[in-house]
A and B are shown apart, each in its own frame.
Chain A
């Protein structure tokens, strides 16, 4: 039993270490991957633009449900006018970056892992090696970069949709005054603290972590179909844990 536990610990440590080293490899390959700028652009399309629908839909519903719940609770204190403020702050600081990153891990992260894993399983990565094309620079780095660029943009879109959803429920349905809703929000939300340090910084950090995990899992997949399936699962699990743990660390520094 102890040996099994040891193995898990050692295996996790090995994975984390290998992942860290892989990050260095990818970072080192980024200047070389600039030659494949088009590929990066194409990947932003795949991981970013293709995730827009799910991110926007979820953002809208998260905003709506927050609006509903907050209205319900705040009405106890006669503070429903603060609904917009709390919706905005909750979304900007926490829900926006975290939920977007989780969605991104599920939508784009898995597809990155599966795609690279399949390339590994069908020797495409080796074929690139043989054609004297560095697969880290051509395959890994563009996807990594695309994730790092796309996630903050998606996070911002999520937040906008969330605020819109909160407005929809709070103002259109529940009848909070439109001006109160916005002015309380604008008075309380701070660009630096809530948007730059909230949405953007967190999304950026999550972008690095999720993209790295997705690319790493794909790149180190055992070249079999079960290997790819397993790696995809691991991407979601590892990303989710990493996102939430990192969120706590970041929040404790930023707050």
Chain B
């Protein structure tokens, strides 16, 4: 599809506790673009991100990130790779022991021996970029959800990564904070050329920011394309997902045996 893909997933198959999460999934993340991965809850969108970062390994298939096959990497190589990947957690995952400044400085302090002045400049620069330079001395507990997410974003970009993975970046944000995050994703993508992958449900938000959308269901990509056209491509999946219908290819009923039999009626079909 795209020649210049920073992430290339081929034939990924993962079975967790007997449940097939991915069934020979193929997927490309184009470099320098904002790609959204959407899908019904429980289809393993977050799990896919964890596969890309090597936190989880599939049962089969390959995941190439920047030319390296992640499942085959040693722990050291994986750590090297991760320094070039930013990851924004759904609940921000700020370290509760440290204030905002130290949270952003944490990766620098762990991986470099930069002079204190340089650390300060980099951290303040990143905090300025997310608009929270004034909050540098606050503790994570004093931050609102939106602020915490922006701090986490500042921390994720402190090494100027090539790729940022956003796990549900819009959940639980008020409209103002949501638009601030949207703006940041777009700005970071445009000014720094950072490839962004975001996992989200909010179609409106995704349409504002994404260049490309994958719709995943049942362990496969069921639809993909530009966000504006995807919603109307005629597939029953997109029709249900973007139309928000309660029943369809994604059934209302969780798979179960026959109802009448379960209730004990003798007439129920087997």
Contacts and interface: CB of A to CB of B under 8 A. Distances in A.
Quick check: do A and B touch in the complex, using CB within 8 A? Answer: yes
Interface in B27-66: 53, 55
A126 B55 contact: yes
A interface: dominant SS: helix
A255 interface: no
B110 A127 contact: no
B93 interface: yes
A186 interface: no
Interface stretch (B83-91, B130-138, B211-219): B83-91
A190 interface: no
A124 B90 CA distance: 11
Contacts of A119: 95-96
Contact of B96 (A124, A126, A138): A124
A132 B158 CA distance: 13
Interface string B89-126: 11101111000000000110011000000000000000
Contacts of A131: 82-83, 106-107, 110, 155
Interface in A98-148: 118-119, 122-124, 126-134, 138
A133 B83 CA distance: 9
B90 A123 contact: yes
A133 B55 contact: no
Interface string A151-186: 000000000000000000000000000000000000
Residue of A122, A124, A131, A133 with highest tally of chain B CB at under 10 A: A131
Given A127-B87, A130-B85, A130-B87, A118 B106 contact: no
Given A118-B96, A119-B96, A122-B96, A130 B53 contact: yes
A124 to B, nearest CB: 5
Contact of B91 (A122, A133, A138): A122
Contact of B82 (A118, A122, A123, A130): A130
A129 B165 CA distance: 14
Contact of A127 (B79, B83, B89): B89
Interface residues of A, number: 15
Nearest to A125: B93
Contacts of A133: 106-107, 110
Nearest to A42: B97
Contacts of B107: 131-133
B258 interface: no
B3 interface: no
B80 interface: yes
B128 to A, nearest CB: 21
Interface in B63-87: 79-80, 82-83, 85, 87
B96 A132 contact: no
Contacts of B89: 123, 126-127, 130
B47 to A, nearest CB: 13
Nearest to A36: B110
Contacts of A138: 110
Contacts of A128: 95
A132 B83 contact: yes
Contacts of A122: 91, 93, 96
Contacts of B155: 131
B100 to A, nearest CB: 15
A122 B145 CA distance: 13
A124 B91 CA distance: 9
Contacts of B90: 123
Given A131-B107, A132-B111, A133-B110, A123 B83 contact: no
A138 B107 CA distance: 12
B95 A124 contact: yes
A123 B79 contact: no
Contacts of B55: 126, 129-130
Interface in B185-215: none
B55 to A, nearest CB: 6
Contacts of B95: 119, 124, 127-128
18 contacts: A119-B95, A119-B96, A124-B93, A124-B95, A126-B55, A127-B87, A127-B94, A127-B152, A128-B95, A130-B87, A130-B89, A131-B82, A131-B155, A132-B80, A132-B107, A132-B110, A132-B111, A133-B110
Given A127-B87, A132-B111, 5 more contacts: A122-B96, A126-B93, A127-B93, A130-B85, A130-B89
Interface of A: 118-119, 122-124, 126-134, 138
Interface of B: 53, 55, 79-80, 82-83, 85, 87, 89-91, 93-96, 106-107, 110-111, 152, 155
Q: Nearest 4 pairs between A and B by C-beta?
A: A127-B93, A123-B93, A132-B79, A130-B87
